[in-house]
Amino acid sequence: MKEIFPGIFRKGNELYTVNAVPGKRVYGEKLTDNYREWIPDRSKLASAILCGLKEMPVKPGAKIVYLGASTGTTVSHVSDIIGLDGIVYAVEFAERVMRKLMDVAKDRKNIVPILADARKPEDYSWVEECDVVYVDVADPQETELSLRNAEAFLKKGGYMLIAVKSQSIDVTKDPKLVFKEESEKLKDYKILQIVDIDKYQKDHALVVAVNQ
């Protein structure tokens, strides 16, 4: 097993993080020693790593605003990586999945669950300034809401990671065109990479941009 980014390990085509809650599974993943498998089919961030992500801003001690936290699959791995000195503000709008997310957060003291609409950052304005804004919401206005959240919470030099689902932006357009148009909206940011993760998540890409 090789550490490819701080706190992230790779063995062949499998990814692992160090389980912050030894012996406990979050979503049926494999546990080996104190490592927890990070399944790319279940997590866009994991897919991006396997599809050639060059820079990984989610690292030990990082402060992260995570929009669209869902049941906490990816959030749990983010929690593993950042450790207890880091913090992840996990924003999710749907109550059904929030219950599951709260169960995950109960064992992990670096997850702050927030039931709120990511389109309205003023609704959770008490969140601190962060190093990363990670966005995974299936909304036609995803890029716009990412910008609004980044403006509020992202520090200078901080990273924005946006998992874009071309189907949610416009079902009629070609995915490649959608990714291009969406990244053009980020003109005040420097786009470092657009990782095509179609291999694991159909018609998805992860846009990595930095706040200059």
Partner 1 sequence: MKAAMAKCPFGIFIFDEQGNILASRLYPKDPQKALELFGEKTPKELLDQLKGYELKTKSSEADSMLRVRIREIGLEIFGSHENMNEFLSEFGMAFTRSRMKKAVGRDNLIIQASNALDDINKSINLFVTRLREWYGLHYPELKLSDNELIKSVCELGARENFPKFRSSTGTGLVPEDEEILMKYAALIERMHEDKKGLEKYVKESVRETMPNFSSLIDPLLAARMLAMAGSTERLARMTASTIQLLGAEKALFRHLKQKGKPPKFGLIFYSPYVQNAPEGKRGKMARFLASKLMLAARIDYYSKRDESSRLKKELEEEIGRVLA
Q: Which residues bind partner 1 (CB under 8 A)?
A: 61, 63, 84-87, 89-90, 95, 98-99, 102, 105-106, 108-116, 122, 125-129, 152-153, 155, 171-172
Of 98 and 137, the one with the shorter C-beta distance to partner 1 is: 98
Distance of CA 29 to the CA centre of its chain: 18
- Partners of 89 in the beta sheet? 65, 112
- Taking the complex as a whole, how short is the minimal distance between the CB of residue 90 and partner 1, in angstroms? 8
User: In b/e form, how buried is each residue of 74-100, taking b as 16+ CB within 10 angstroms?
Assistant: bbbbbbbbbbeebbbbbbbbeeeebeb
Report how far residue 179's alpha carbon sits from residue 143's, in angstroms, rounded to the nearest whole number. Answer: 10
- Taking the complex as a whole, how short is the minimal distance between the CB of residue 92 and partner 1, in angstroms? 9
**Contact predicate 117/93, CB 8 Å:** yes
Report how far residue 101's alpha carbon sits from residue 73's, in angstroms, rounded to the nearest whole number. Answer: 8
- Taking the complex as a whole, how short is the minimal distance between the CB of residue 20 and partner 1, in angstroms? 12
Closest to 60 (Cα-Cα) out of 78, 45, 47: 78
- Taking the complex as a whole, how short is the minimal distance between the CB of residue 38 and partner 1, in angstroms? 22
Other CB atoms within 10 A of residue 41 CB: 10
Of 127 and 197, the one with the shorter C-beta distance to partner 1 is: 127
Of 11 and 202, the one with the shorter C-beta distance to partner 1 is: 202
- Taking the complex as a whole, how short is the minimal distance between the CB of residue 109 and partner 1, in angstroms? 4
Of 125 and 212, the one with the shorter C-beta distance to partner 1 is: 125
Kind plus residue range of the DSSP H or E element containing 184: helix 175-184
Of 106 and 180, the one with the shorter C-beta distance to partner 1 is: 106
Report how far residue 135's alpha carbon sits from residue 123's, in angstroms, rounded to the nearest whole number. Answer: 17
Region for 44 from its dihedrals, namely left if φ exceeds 0, alpha if ψ lies in -120 to 50, beta otherwise: alpha
Of 47 and 165, the one with the shorter C-beta distance to partner 1 is: 165
- Taking the complex as a whole, how short is the minimal distance between the CB of residue 100 and partner 1, in angstroms? 12
